Structure 1
Amino acid sequence: MTTTGIRTAPATERPEKPAHRDGNVLRWLSAYTASMVGDSVYFVALSWAAARSGSPAQAGLVLAVGSVPRAVLMLGGGVIADRFGPRRVVIGSDAVRCAVILAVTVLLLVTAPGIWLLVLVALVFGAVDALFLPSVGALPTRITAPGQLGRVQGMRGFAQRVATVAAAPLGGLAVAMGGPAAGFGVAGVLFAVSLVLLMAVRVRPLAPDEEAGTAESAWRQLVGGLRYIRGHRVLAPLLLVAAVMELGFAGPANIGVVLLADERGWGAAGMAWTVGGFGVGAGAAALLLAVRGRIGRAGAVQSWAVVAGSVALGAIGFAPSVAAAAVAGLCVGLCTGLGGALIGALLQTVTEPAYLGRVTSVATLFTVGIAPMTFPVVGAAIGTWGIEPVFAASATVSAAGGALGLCSRTLRGTELPRALPGG
């Protein structure tokens, strides 16, 4: 095992099965998509139930509280994924999510929910997410060949965009027709579908020389994983790129766009066009990688894409019209979508299989744990200094992530593996 090189395909003449024609990969992808849609429908139902059961402040507490166990337990979830195997953990955590949501559905049918019941549900769901997310992210390298990892990440990114588009109207329709109970019920069914599909996914067992540290204590495994990342010539700068980019990107792309549309008088439609532009661009970038399967000089391209996307993000703050903001959002989506997909593919490629859960947990921690904490900071800064300076400053921070990646000669020269003949 090395912390200085890149994991490559094993020496074999057997052709690789293309990921888009591999039933095992498609089952994993379908399970992931169903879970993503279920997550979003759950959030819609939880939001509506919270708004109906308490004050605005209490509703805000319900929506925010789930992020706490998710952030606190995420690194531990990565250790558990590596210790017990990602397939076992992802099936167990998905089963718990399904059972919890269906139980809440039954409770809502027979009684009015108290605000503290919803808080408890959010806490449990956040804790289980800390197990589910690292495990589901660690599965691709165990279900496909190294030369297909780029295509799998593109397919995953495209599935995320499809799930985002489908989830909001589905959740809204369910809540409109049957209240929060119907929303939770739909989410529970989607988690059940995801569970059945995940149980049908086959994973490659680790070879004896890949089972690094699986007999150690959980604490030693966690420390060992962090040391592995720190000493890896590709992973360390790659995760730094992802973390810094998210810190600069998350606030403006979420709360910033909302405040921008409000200040400029564009209304909800203006916000929707801007966010929609981002979604279309990100979906197109993911589809490009899914079709091509590989992009040359991936290490350099992902860093340049982060820089270009950050510049477009700053431009949104200065957009004079909805159309200009939507075009800028499209550019943001294209660039950051490509950069993010390549970061995911490179992470899967260079990480030793025994460490994938822990490495994925570190990457996910910044995305769903730490980056959202910038939302109130960005909101307060916009209230103090205005839209343009904050978007410019945030874009600078995000671009610094790409610049740091370009400073690493090893990362710049990192390539995705080529598919063996037949893939």
Structure 2
Amino acid sequence: MWTREFMLFFTARTVSMLGWAITPVATALALHDAGYGATGVGLALAAWTVPMAGLILFGGVLMDRFTPRRMMIGADVVRVATQAAMAVLFLLGRPELWQVLALSAIAGAASAMYQPGVAGTVARVAPDVQRANATLRMSEAIMQLLGPGLAGALAGLAGVGVVFAIDSAGFAISAVCLLLMRTRVTGSGEEPVLVRLREGWREFRSRTWMWSVILIWVIFGITLFGPLIPLGSVIVTDTYGQTAYGLVMSASGAGTIVGGLLALRVRPARPLAAGGIGMFLFALEPLSFAAGLPLGVIMACHVLGGAGWAFWSVMWATSVQTLVPAEALNRVSAYEIGGSTMAVPIGQALAGPMAGLVGARELLTVSALVAVAGCLALLSVRPVRQISVRP
């Protein structure tokens, strides 16, 4: 598995994921300190997610035309610039909210041009797709473990501008690694964009196991994933301080390492069913915020939640990459990623106002209940329970 190409891709993903892990924490802490509150945090996260979800279908089509490698390098270069600009703004003082939103939107658009190529690249550079996905998930988990704590510490010691500068450097290293890869994929012609979008849609909708999961993820986006960071960051920061929230996110990263290790060793005959069972643990994350538990217990809940999320993620990625034909994988991945993320900005933007009406803890209690109900619905879908992948 550890070929030259996979090692370069592994390095690119690892260093960029360090930046990815610290950015939400840095954004939440920075905007909270600047006085923008949960609403400002939610809007900033939504500003990144809206263009990401809205443009990702076109990212999948452009991957086929210009090749994933070129598109991913271009996206990294754009994100080097956006995160460097963010660093300068915070190093110089208190930026206007619109400046943060604008840069977040550009970074989100660049991510839409990057993300559809990940699945196809893994399938091309790794002979054992599940082991590769599990290895990448563990690497990402280690970055998620180190990143939030590093973000909290650096934000407290040197300011969030330094955190964004590290993020920019990570994307630069990622671009260099991708540039050094020898894997070449030829562009697939000049068919009109709408034709390619329709072809991708036909592939996507023909797989009940895929669109049923994405439908549940749309509900999760509004009620679970969207509110979790804006409200959780405010609750923990107000109660235990800035560093505490970084520790909580690091605990979630530690959990994803556990989930990745489990996915390396376990090959369930029905991976989506096994992953769906693991996802029940994710309900502990919003529940721990809502219940006002001691910091140590909140961290323990996030270890379990992170483990469940990582195990599900490996099972899902492996199913997509092995059951979708290679020639359609970029476009289908775009529909899959776009569908699973398009509702998140709605939840992020509504988190602050809804918390003002019903209370942050009460809203996160609903999130925990929805997480359990969604997992039950997931396991009630026969194709999800019965789908299997080749070794």
TM value normalised by structure 1? 0.75
Secondary structure of the corresponding residue to residue 401 of structure 1: helix
1:314-350, Cα deviation, whole Å (9 max, x unpaired)? 4653365334333332222222221122112212121
The equivalences for 1:98-247 within 5 A come to: 98=80, 115=96, 120-145=102-127, 148-168=128-148, 185-203=165-183, 205=185, 215-247=190-222
Q: 1:348/1:379 Cα in 2 relative to 1: closer, same or farther (>3 Å)?
A: same
Equivalent residue number for residue 350 of structure 2: 377
Q: Residues 157 and 286 of structure 1 are in contact (CA less than 8 Å); yes or no, is this contact kept in structure 2?
A: yes
On the 8 A contact 1:307/1:400 being kept in 2, the answer is no
Rounded to whole Å, the distance in 2 between the matches of 1:158 and 1:359 is: 25
Would you say 1:288 and 2:262 are equivalent positions?
yes
Aligned AA for 2:273? Answer: A
Percent identity for Structure 1 against Structure 2: 23
- Give the AA of the match of 1:23: R
Number of the residue aligned with 2:15: 34
| C-alpha separation in 2, matches of 1:190 and 1:373 | 29
* 1:234-383 map, 5 Å: 234-251=209-226, 253-261=228-236, 265-268=239-242, 271-272=245-246, 274-289=248-263, 291-292=264-265, 294-310=267-283, 313-314=286-287, 317-318=290-291, 320-366=293-339, 368-383=341-356
Distance 1:101 1:323, change over 3 A: closer
Q: CA deviation at 1:184?
A: 5.3
What is the CA deviation profile of residues 85-107 of structure 1, one whole-angstrom value per residue up to 9, with x for unaligned ones? 21221122223333565688899
Which piece of structure 1 moves more, 234-243 or 306-315? 306-315
Q: Distance in 1 between matches of 2:234 and 2:153?
A: 27
The answer for unaligned runs of 5 or more in structure 1 is 1-18, 419-423
CA distance in structure 2 between the partners assigned to 1:117 and 1:282 by the alignment: 33
Q: 1:223 to 1:186 in 2, by over 3 A?
A: same
1:215-247 deviation line (CA, Å, top 9, x unaligned): 531012112212221111332233334444444
Supply the distance in 2 between the matched residues of 1:262 and 1:62 (Cα, whole angstroms).
18
Any gaps of 5 or more consecutive residues in structure 2?
none
How far does the alpha carbon of each residue in 1:103-147 deviate from its partner, in whole angstroms, 9 at most, with x for none?
A: 8889999x99985766654443222121012223432112123xx
What RMSD, in angstroms, separates the aligned Cα atoms of the two structures? 4.0
Cα 1:298–1:202 shift into 2, 3 Å: farther
Q: Is the 8 A contact 2:148 2:250 kept in 1?
A: no
Aligned partners of 1:68 and 1:126 also within 8 Å: yes
Per-residue deviation, 1:178: 7.8
> For residues 268-319 of structure 1, what are the alpha-carbon distances to aligned partners after superposition, in whole Å with 9 as ceiling and x for unaligned?
5665554443332222102322x32633321211122223433675465336
Which range is displaced more, 160-169 or 60-69? 60-69
Contact 2:232/2:286 (CA < 8 Å) preserved in 1? Answer: no
Amino acid at match of 2:6: V
Q: Deviations over 1:377-421 (max 9, x none)?
A: 344444433456433432332233323332232221222321xxx
Q: Secondary structure at the match of 2:388?
A: coil
Structure 1 residues 405 and 118, CA gap change in structure 2 (3 angstroms): closer
Which amino acid in the other structure matches residue 373 of structure 2? A
SS at match of 2:115: helix
Deviation at 1:79, TM superposition (A): 1.6
The whole-number CA distance in structure 2 between the counterparts of 1:179 and 1:262 is 16
Counterpart-to-counterpart distance in 2, 1:267 and 1:175 = 12
Q: Kindly tell me: are residues 162 and 298 of structure 1, through their superposed partners in 2, closer, same or farther at Cα, counting changes over 3 Å?
A: same
- Distance in 1 of aligned mates of 2:88 and 2:293: 49
Matched positions, count: 388
Question: Could you list the per-position Cα deviations for residues 139-167 of structure 1 after superposition, in whole angstroms to 9, with x for gaps in the alignment?
Answer: 2112123xx22222222222222223334
Structure (1/2) with the larger helix percentage = 2
Q: Would the aligned equivalents of 1:63 and 1:122 in 2 still touch at CA under 8 Å?
A: yes
Aligned counterparts, 1:410-421, within 5 A: 410-418=383-391
Partner of 1:403: 376
Match of 1:85 in 2: 67
CA contact (8 A) 1:87 1:135 kept: yes
How far apart, in 2, do the equivalents of 1:39 and 1:407 lie?
33
Give the drift of 1:354. Answer: 2.2
The 1-side partners of 2:237 and 2:102 are apart by 33
Distance in 1 (alpha carbons) for counterparts of 2:343 and 2:257: 24
User: Take 1:182 and 1:272, find their aligned partners in 2: how far apart are those partners?
Assistant: 16
Q: Which has the larger radius of gyration?
A: 1
Letter paired with 2:330: G
Q: C-alpha separation between the residues in 2 aligned to 1:416 and 1:203?
A: 25
1:352 aligned partner, one-letter code? P
Indicate conservation of the 8 Å contact 2:145/2:254, yes or no.
no
| Structure 2 CA distance for partners of 1:55 and 1:389, relative to 1, 3 Å | closer
Q: Distance in 2 between matches of 1:221 and 1:47?
A: 38
